[in-house]
Amino acid sequence: MATPALKMKMKTAGCAQSIVCDGNEAAAWAVALARPDLVAVYPITPQSSLVEYVSQFIADGKIEAELMNVEGEHSVLSALHGAALAGGRTYTATCGPGLAFMFEPYWRTPGMRLPIVASLVTRDGITPQCVWGGQQDAMTMKETGWIQIYCETVQEVLDTTIMAYRIAEHHDVMLPVNICHDGNYLSYGVTQVEVPEQSAVDDYLGEKNINWHVALDPLRPMAVDPLTGGAGGPGPGKFVAYRQGLCEGMQNALGVIEQAHSDWADIFGRDYAPLVEEYRLDDADYALVTIGSMTGAAKDAVDSARERGERVGIIKIKTFRPFPVEAMARALKKVHAVGVVDRSVHYGWNCGPLFQEVLSCVYRTGKPIATGSFIGGLAGADLTETHFTRAIDRTAQLLAGTEFDGPVWLNEND
């Protein structure tokens, strides 16, 4: 049996109210429930309404956090660094060019092991100048050491943003987390969501202890980030130890993410596949690999194909960093061909970045699996059931032995 995307338990214990909202507002509700100490904001499309909601919540006393209206994303994250080193729980959101401008402190955050949570309301890269959704921004950051988790639904945005604090602040992890939700589709897509109860969230997150390992505190004086490395003395070994520690934290995160999700399901009744979701995969001959909000349309297309007798399923990735190699390989083993649908481009490999990573896992399955790269949904373009039906057809051809060069651009004729 495939893992269902969402096991709806009616009348769950932790539900306070049911509201209708978009993904940006859902994220703001999650921030309110996570009780951060400091939120620093700088607006950017399509994240802007998110920080507007958060600011309004703070203005209304719904969030009791310090609000910093900072002069740019670079300082946004820097302020969060300062607060986290003083022991504060922090939040911000950004995307696209804002994320690019934030890069210098962003790049540094994992090395400092600061458990900062930031929403990425994903946006395509420039140029051409563009203000619409796409995952190019988040994918560009995949080698920086941040945990990246991609949401499929508005409810999942709310739930996962809260879970992010549990994951980031876990003492075996201590890494920053990006909760990625697709610009336009999730940021502005309105649905009904359940808002958990504050007390249940408080129990779920527990006491925070942000700076037990690194702090700027006169009561515990230490030098934060001395020059480390070089070619002699204790430097090289020390540097390696820091790197190894970070890699270890990343790997530890896999288990922590799973635990965070199963505890969430126990309390709040919503059970998400934490790493990789398998949809109608067990008896499938081939599958599409998807990421984020596109998965809904992909599932519809698979359902339709199934009616036509195609033995096709879906492998959806939720946790992209750390990459769930085992879970992915386990899923891949069940099929003979996969078509990987990316919402961004992997320059130089002429494919999508997710495709490239799936390819690495194919080797781990020990079996020949035919693979093809699909790229769609760039710059806010819609990925409909029709697009996925096309992807299914091409993947079926792969299964039959017709390989193709280069990616299939799903929106090229739109």
Partner 1 sequence: MTAYNTIAFDPSRCELCNDCDACITACAQVKSGTDNPLHSRIKIVAGFNGNDPELALCRQCGDPECVKSCPSTALTKNPETGMIDWEKSLCVDCLLCTVGCTYGGITYNATLKHVAKCDLCDGDPACVKACPSGALTYVTSASIFNEQHEREDLFVPGLSACQGCNSEMIMRHSLRKVGPDTVLATPPGCIPGMGSVGFNGTTGTKVPVFHPLLTNTASMLAGLKKQYNRMGRNVTAMALAGDGGAGDVGFQSLSGAAERNDQVLFICVDNEGYMNTGMQASGSTSYGSWTTTTPVGSQMKGKRTGQKNLAMIMMNHNCEYVATASTAFVEDYYEKLDKALEASERGFAYLHIYSPCPTGWRFPSSQTIEVCRKGVETNFAPLWEYERGGELRFTHSIDNPLPVEAYLNLSGKYRHVSEEQLAHIQEQVNERVKTLKRFAGMN
| Per-residue binder mask for partner 1 (CB under 8 A), 378-397, x = binder | --------------------
How big is the site for partner 1, counted in residues (CB under 8 A)?
Answer: 46
Q: Is 94 in the site for partner 1 (CB under 8 A)?
A: no
Give, as one character, the DSSP assignment of residue 346.
Answer: B
CB of 86 or CB of 267, closer to partner 1: 86
Rounded to the nearest whole angstrom, what is the least distance from the CB of residue 106 to partner 1 in the complex? 11
Q: Is 69 in the site for partner 1 (CB under 8 A)?
A: yes
Rounded to the nearest whole angstrom, what is the least distance from the CB of residue 170 to partner 1 in the complex? 21
Select the residue interacting with partner 1 from 56, 171, 209, 234 (CB under 8 A).
Answer: 234
Rounded to the nearest whole angstrom, what is the least distance from the CB of residue 181 to partner 1 in the complex? 25
Q: Is 32 in the site for partner 1 (CB under 8 A)?
A: no
Select the span of 5-13, 22-30, 83-91, 151-159 touching partner 1 (CB under 8 A): 83-91
Does the CA dihedral 353-354-357-363 come out positive or negative?
negative
Rounded to the nearest whole angstrom, what is the least distance from the CB of residue 228 to partner 1 in the complex? 5
Q: Can you tell me the distance from the alpha carbon of 3 to that of 277, in angstroms, rounded to the nearest whole number?
A: 7
Select the residue interacting with partner 1 from 4, 7, 13, 82 (CB under 8 A).
Answer: 82
Rounded to the nearest whole angstrom, what is the least distance from the CB of residue 246 to partner 1 in the complex? 16
Rounded to the nearest whole angstrom, what is the least distance from the CB of residue 84 to partner 1 in the complex? 8
Q: Can you tell me the distance from the alpha carbon of 116 to that of 269, in angstroms, rounded to the nearest whole number?
A: 26
What size, in residues, is the chain? Answer: 414
CB of 24 or CB of 90, closer to partner 1: 90
C-alpha triplet 279, 133, 360: angle, nearest 5°:
50
How many CA atoms does the CB half-sphere of 70 hold within 13 Å?
24
C-alpha triplet 94, 98, 103: angle, nearest 5°:
100
Q: Is 70 in the site for partner 1 (CB under 8 A)?
A: yes
Select the residue interacting with partner 1 from 26, 28, 58, 85 (CB under 8 A).
Answer: 85
Rounded to the nearest whole angstrom, what is the least distance from the CB of residue 96 to partner 1 in the complex? 19
Collapse the DSSP code of 290 into the 3-class scheme (helix H, G, I; strand E, B; otherwise coil) and give the result: strand
Q: Is 216 in the site for partner 1 (CB under 8 A)?
A: yes
Select the residue interacting with partner 1 from 220, 240, 282, 386 (CB under 8 A).
Answer: 220
Q: Is 40 in the site for partner 1 (CB under 8 A)?
A: yes
Rounded to the nearest whole angstrom, what is the least distance from the CB of residue 116 to partner 1 in the complex? 11
Q: Which amino acid is at 4?
A: P
CB of 6 or CB of 214, closer to partner 1: 214
Q: Can you tell me the distance from the alpha carbon of 100 to that of 94, in angstroms, rounded to the nearest whole number?
A: 10
Q: Is 87 in the site for partner 1 (CB under 8 A)?
A: yes
Q: Can you tell me the distance from the alpha carbon of 185 to that of 295, in angstroms, rounded to the nearest whole number?
A: 12
Select the residue interacting with partner 1 from 46, 88, 98, 376 (CB under 8 A).
Answer: 88
Q: Can you tell me the distance from the alpha carbon of 85 to that of 90, in angstroms, rounded to the nearest whole number?
A: 11
C-alpha triplet 325, 410, 329: angle, nearest 5°:
15
Q: Can you tell me the distance from the alpha carbon of 348 to that of 250, in angstroms, rounded to the nearest whole number?
A: 26
Select the residue interacting with partner 1 from 11, 61, 127, 227 (CB under 8 A).
Answer: 227
Q: Is 36 in the site for partner 1 (CB under 8 A)?
A: no
CB of 43 or CB of 380, closer to partner 1: 43
Select the residue interacting with partner 1 from 80, 173, 337, 391 (CB under 8 A).
Answer: 80
Can the peptide bond before residue 46 be classed as cis, meaning omega within 30 degrees of 0? yes
Q: Can you tell me the distance from the alpha carbon of 109 to that of 118, in angstroms, rounded to the nearest whole number?
A: 11
Q: Please, what is the angle between helix 353-365 and helix 325-332, to 10°?
A: 70
C-alpha triplet 39, 41, 44: angle, nearest 5°:
145
CB of 10 or CB of 227, closer to partner 1: 227
CB of 233 or CB of 348, closer to partner 1: 233
Residue 339 CA, chain-centre distance (Å), reads 21
DSSP string, 347-397: TTTTB-HHHHHHHHHHHHHTS--EEEEEE--GGG----HHHHHHHHHHHHH
How many CA atoms does the CB half-sphere of 304 hold within 13 Å?
15
Select the residue interacting with partner 1 from 1, 10, 222, 231 (CB under 8 A).
Answer: 222
Question: Would you tell me which residues interact with partner 1 (CB under 8 A)?
Answer: 37-38, 40, 66, 68-72, 74-76, 78-88, 90, 104-105, 108, 215-218, 220-230, 233-235, 238
